[in-house]
Amino acid sequence: MQPKETMNAKKLCLTVLAALSLWACAVEPVAPNTRPIILDTSYTRYCDNGMLFGGGRVVFPKGVYQPSFQTEAGVFYEAPTFLIGAVPARGGLFIPHDPSGKQACWFEPAFFQLSTVRGEPIPYHH
């Protein structure tokens, strides 16, 4: 019989590996025709569920947001500078493929945790 700590560590490792493999399958390179988006001014929005970095007020800086990666749900665009939330961090704006979907903010290294942007969608153009 194995000590309880060893069994818990094995369970934790298996859980982390399973989560990473599921996440890795969902992320895809950006389609070649995906253009950057441009914010003409900075926008402040409140984001739900941003427990790690934002969790509330987030400032999206003006500038060109480059497409970083995508999933079946949409494209992750990286901000030109840090997003300003509870802690300044790299991240950006998630734009869903479905026009009725909600925009979201994301932070590195926790980009698998999207935080829905509340209020008006952030206006952008290509």
> Does the structure show a pLDDT above 60 at 5?
no
Per-position b or e across 27-46, b if 16+ CB within 10 A of its CB: eeeeeeebeebebeeebebb
Q: Strand locations in 1-118, DSSP E?
A: 37-39, 43-47, 56-60, 63-70, 74-78, 91-96, 104-107, 115-116
Residue 89: inside a domain, yes or no? yes
pLDDT digits (tens, 9 = 90+) for 66-117: 999 999 999 999 999 999 887 788 999 999 999 999 999 988 876 556 788 8
Entry pTM: 0.75
Q: Give the pLDDT confidence score for residue 19 in this predicted structure.
A: 39
What is the model's pLDDT at position 121? 93
104 part of a folded domain: yes
Is there a domain that residue 13 lies in? Answer: no
25 falls within a domain? no
Q: How far is CA 121 from CA 34, 47, 83, in A?
A: 20, 11, 16
Residue 111 covered by a domain: yes
- Give the Cα separation of 28 and 31 in Å (integer): 8
Q: How many domains does the chain have?
A: 1
In a domain, 56, yes or no: yes
Q: In the prediction, which pLDDT does 111 show? A: 55
Backbone angles phi, psi at 87, to 5 degrees: -140, 130
Q: Which residue has the higher pLDDT, 113 or 7?
A: 113
Distance of alpha carbon 24 from alpha carbon 15, whole angstroms = 14
Has residue 32 been placed in a domain? no
pLDDT digits (tens, 9 = 90+) for 21-69: 334 447 889 999 999 999 999 999 988 755 545 458 899 999 999 999 9
Burial class (CB in 10 A: 0-12, 13-18, 19+), 90: middle
Q: What pLDDT score was predicted for residue 20?
A: 39
